[in-house]
Chains A and B, each alone.
Chain A
Amino acid sequence: MVGGVHSEETTPPIAQGVPLHLEPLAFEPEALEPYIDAQTMRLHYEVHHAAYLNRLQAALREGNLRAANAFSLIRGLKHPPASVTPELQTSLRQNGGGHVNHTIFWRILTPPGKSPQGPQGRLAEAIQKEYGSLDTFKSVFAAAAMKRFGSGWAWLSVREDGKLIVTSTPDQDNPAMCGLVPDEECGLPILGLDVWEHAYYLKYQNRRQDYVSAWWNVVNWTRVERNFAVVTAR
């Protein structure tokens, strides 16, 4: 581990916010091999994610806006301050979404073998209740990831009414962007999978299905459970 790498315990759950900086990864870029390769991780984190953050900060400066928490920012995007032009709103949506989504994504990943194979406790019960079994949930989630045409994400979220939902968003939209995503798909994400081609193309090329299958090996279920606990405790 290099200096400055976050420990498991210090990275906050999603619902507690996403700061306006690049959070250190909780693992080395090569730690997710062979499922996600080191080159992809480096480019994805150091270049793609960093670019979203830079453009988000530029958009905030341009609009004379202050934000401490990117997650709160994107949740309120449907009704921005009057000074926010449509172009600026689009930039905040794309780059604020990009920053939040990638932060979420890194937080729920862990080296293979470091996490239980699936959720335990209350999240396990909730998945069982909603989908019948973990395997069924995984197939529903994978289908959402496969069906996303073009760039986007697959998500497991908790809706306002407490129901677990699997959805998919285009580009860098996030399920918490209420009013911008369909109402019935609006919720707080506890698990997300990036299916932009940049997330997998160097290793998997056109075989998105193989990437999705491999990815389950590096999901940090302990973190997903914490996300679920925080989101449902409110």
Chain B
Amino acid sequence: MNRRSFLVAGGAAVAGSVLPSPLHAAAAFPLELGKLPYAPEALEPHIDAQTMTIHHDKHHAAYVTNLNKALDAAKVSGKDALTLIKDLSALPADAQTAVRNNGGGHVNHTLFWSWMAPAGSGAKGPEGKLGAAIQSTFSSVDDFKKLFGEAATKRFGSGWAWLVVKADGKLAVTSTPNQDNPWMKGIVPDSDLGTPILGLDVWEHAYYLKYQNKRPDYITAWWNVVNWAEVAKGYAAAAA
């Protein structure tokens, strides 16, 4: 059962229409706050409703607001957020940091929502070509999860852990500080550049209300709400 049919079948109070997959359409990164593709309580008990509500309605919203302020101040228009963060050096110098932080925040959170779904609503792990690629790169799904979990645990301060498809088509696990994103050329090390197909927010705001200092517990719980169908779509698009 896919996510949409689950939500309909489950009768959940859906917050809004399901977003088009952002990995396929730059149009999914307009300079506005999209709706969550599920109700804020839909990821319970792994991610609590209060965290989801504040995370989306306050944190994500603030990134969008501050991104637009920075673009207005710099008189930049006509580009979606992904295009902006992929080439920060094309922006006026005094807008680059604000777009890096807030454009990154907007893109990262938009992706993050799409990579989650209610527990039990889809495949429990990667299947098909993605499953095979994870197997061949990391030996097993468990080894991949361990490596990814370590990247997420070790990120000091605020940031993200990522599964990326590199330019040569290979999978890699990376981590970025703050709201940096693996697409940010010239910001992340060249060796870490790639197309993110899965990411985990490890800013404390993503888990502190429920997990406090226990980031590893949050990471473990999060695997239950990964939307593997969406990750597989991203992989197919990036590897094509």
Contact = CB atoms under 8 A, between A and B. Distances in A.
Interface string A149-171: 11110000000000000000011
A9 B59 CA distance: 42
B124 interface: no
Interface stretch (A120-128, A131-139, A196-204, A212-220): A196-204
> Which of A43, A152, A196, A197 is most buried by chain B, counting CB atoms within 10 A of its CB?
A197
Interface string A195-234: 0111001100110000000000000000000000000000
Contacts of B212: 43, 47, 198, 202
Contacts of B158: 150-151, 197
B54 A48 contact: no
Contacts of B157: 150-152, 170-172, 196
A206 B159 contact: no
Contacts of B54: 205-206
A54 interface: no
A22 to B, nearest CB: 15
Interface in A174-199: 196-198
Contact of A201 (B156, B177, B205): B205
A149 B203 CA distance: 11
Interface residues of B, number: 19
Contact of B204 (A94, A171, A172, A198): A198
Interface in B181-215: 203-205, 208-209, 212-213
Nearest to B62: A206
A38 interface: no
Contacts of A150: 157-159, 177-179, 203
Contacts of A51: 213
Contacts of A196: 157, 204
A150 B205 CA distance: 10
B101 A149 contact: yes
Contacts of A47: 212-213
B170 interface: no
A208 to B, nearest CB: 10
Nearest to A51: B213
Interface in B35-71: 54, 58-59, 62
A150 B102 CA distance: 11
A53 to B, nearest CB: 14
Nearest to A152: B157
B208 A202 contact: yes
B177 A206 contact: no
A137 B204 CA distance: 29
A194 to B, nearest CB: 12
A48 B54 CA distance: 23
A161 to B, nearest CB: 28
Given A48-B213, A150-B157, A197 B62 contact: no
Nearest to A44: B213
Contacts of B178: 149-150
> Which of B54, B177, B208 is most buried by chain A, counting CB atoms within 10 A of its CB?
B208
A68 B205 CA distance: 35
A170 B155 CA distance: 13
Interface string B145-177: 000000000001111000000000000000001
Given A149-B101, A149-B178, A150-B203, A198 B208 contact: yes
26 contacts: A47-B213, A48-B213, A51-B213, A94-B156, A149-B178, A150-B179, A150-B203, A151-B157, A171-B156, A171-B157, A172-B157, A196-B157, A197-B203, A197-B204, A198-B212, A198-B213, A201-B204, A202-B208, A202-B212, A205-B58, A205-B205, A205-B209, A206-B58, A206-B59, A206-B62, A206-B205
- Which 7 pairs show the lowest CB-CB distances between chains A and B? A197-B204, A151-B157, A150-B158, A150-B178, A171-B157, A206-B58, A201-B208
Given A151-B157, A201-B204, 14 more contacts: A43-B212, A48-B213, A149-B101, A150-B159, A150-B178, A150-B179, A170-B157, A196-B157, A197-B205, A198-B204, A198-B208, A201-B209, A205-B205, A206-B54
Interface of B: 54, 58-59, 62, 101, 156-159, 177-179, 203-205, 208-209, 212-213
